[in-house]
Amino acid sequence: MQDKNFDALAGKFAKNIYGTPKGEVRAAVLWRDLSQAMAQLPKGPLRILDAGGGFGFFCQKLAKLGHSVTLCDISSEMLALGKAQIQAYEESSGETLDISLIHAPIQSLTQETLGQFDLILCHAVAEWLSDAKQTLGDLTGLLKPDGLFSLMFYNKEAMRFHSLISGNFDYVAADFKVKKKVGLTPSYPLYIQDVRKWVEDWQMELLSESGVRVIHDYLKTHQPPNSDFSQLLEMELQYSTHPAYVGLGRYVHFIMRRL
């Protein structure tokens, strides 16, 4: 089994993930969670690693706040997109961002070569890894004591529920196995309870859980004429941490602390 490389899908991925309402929901929930968690970290510039961060959506936001960021991805095309965006911002603003780009699989990252970080991001990567527990567990070793790990993963139970309410019963009965797979459908979606157990095995403390898109993906096709996106976003943020709805999130966001 090979881990997913998005070289062939870089443009589509960037557009579909962050250039849509669902991408705005994702970004808002993650940024809210990160901003709250980072208040617990030391003041001043932080060392941050974005493992499998693609073109560096959050890297760029964090670097603009003055942090030192390392962006690693297996896709040269995704990194090229990120580099172009970083250069465009630097040329227009006259500001230099402290971002280092590493073209490599995240399994190759070591403390010996990179040192330790205050914060590690790993968003929408785990569900593409053939051995997510091992790979993510190794990443936790790059954290400083009390460092934070921001992990967002594709939720298999929400994937099942969405298929059920869409009437795709054959797909569910086949355990999501199809002859022709859609390019952006994750290979290894995860169960929340499994990842919670991993956190214990890694001897990490789970600080927060949020569902990402607990409403958006379940909306009926035809919405009331007076509905608007700002209302949806407000509700997503409000209910993303509600215990009854976290498990409905298409993705789930964990923030952990290294003990």
Strands (E), 136-203: 143-154
pLDDT tens profile 38-54: 999 999 899 999 999 99
**What CA–CA distances, in Å, run from 245 to 209, 211, 238, 253?**
11, 7, 10, 13
Task: Say if residue 239's pLDDT is above 60.
Answer: yes
Portion of the chain with pLDDT greater than 70, in percent: 89
Q: Is 123 annotated as a binding residue?
A: yes
Contact 103, 6 (CB under 8 A): no
Please tell me the number of Cα atoms within 13 Å of 249 on its side-chain side: 32
Measured CA to CA, the distance from residue 258 to residue 114 in angstroms comes to 18
Nearest to 104 by CA among 30, 184, 49: 49
Question: Is residue 26 within 8 Å of 17, Cβ to Cβ?
Answer: yes
73 marked as part of a ligand binding site = yes
75-126 pLDDT per residue, tens: 999 999 999 999 999 999 999 999 999 999 999 999 999 999 999 999 999 9
pLDDT band at 178 (very low <50, low <70, confident <90, very high): confident
State yes or no: 222 annotated in a binding site: no
pTM equals: 0.91
